[in-house]
A = this chain, B = another copy of it.
Amino acid sequence: MITETIVILETQIDDMTAQSIAYTMEQLLQNGALDVYTQAIGMKKSRNGTLITVICPCDRQSICEQILFRETTTLGIRYRLQERKILHRQIHEVTTEYGKARVKIAWRNGFCTIQPEYEDCARLARSRNLSLIQVQEAVKLAGENFFNDLSTTNFDSKSRTNPPLDFL
């Protein structure tokens, strides 16, 4: 587990359209924001506005603020530093009957999870006209098999209680 410092930017909006807010999100993500999300908020005078929250590395604070001031109608941005803890994770590619896809392996206090990468599964489902659920299950299974092989070659644990040597 790693601890790092990030920046949180926040601004509430009541005079922009949903289209323009979506465009702002896109611009923020393309310029280094780690995540951006919106929340419906109830404001004065019966206005149901939007709170925009931007999570970014410290060295992207300036550009993200510039984008907020350029693309939104806001006159003020709140910001604060915050700590976050992040898990070690690995990305691996696996092969299924439907094609190749990546899985994300994350170590969580004594066991690990294997999550199929959404974009890869969606691409396979679209191109083969399959249910996304079917593809995700196949990728998950391939990920499980991959992990089991990885575990047995790197360390002698069936119970997944310790990470493989190359995991950190």
Contact = CB atoms under 8 A, between A and B. Distances in A.
Interface residues of A, number: 71
B51 A42 contact: no
Interface in A31-83: 35-51, 53, 55, 65-66, 69-71, 73, 75-80, 82-83
Q: How many copies does the complex hold?
A: 6
A40 to B, nearest CB: 4
A14 B50 CA distance: 13
A162 interface: no
Interface of A: 6, 8, 12-26, 29, 35-51, 53, 55, 65-66, 69-71, 73, 75-80, 82-87, 89, 104, 106, 108-109, 111, 113, 115, 118, 122, 125, 131-134, 136
